[in-house]
Amino acid sequence: MPMLALLLLYAAVLGGDETLPVAHVQVRLGQDSVLCWERNTTQRTRTLGLWRQTDGGWQLQHRLRVSSARMLSSSQ
């Protein structure tokens, strides 16, 4: 996994993303996978998802959602 993907995971879990100027980042991990990070300021949650390209489009493989208080959900 590229270093940027690890930094996004750190930001999603520990909340170290407050100073980022954007609320959504996508990192291409290969020809058929994308790591997506999103920050929701109204619900105070962060989501990190791994998407894989299939014949019919893109499919969510794993999702980690973290709130400022506790973990809400993990891998599907």
pLDDT tens column, 14-24: 666 666 667 78
Q: What are phi and psi of 11, to 5 degrees?
A: -65, -40
pLDDT in tens, 29-52: 888 999 888 888 777 788 888 899
Give dist(CA 52, CA 21) in Å, integer. Answer: 26
CB environment 3-37: b (16+ within 10 A), e (fewer): eebeebeebbeeeebeeeeeeebeeebeeeeebbb
**Is-above-0.75 flag for pTM?**
no
Domain count for the chain, please give it: 1
Q: Which residues pair with 37 in a beta bridge?
A: 25, 48
Which residue range(s) make up the domain with 20?
3-73
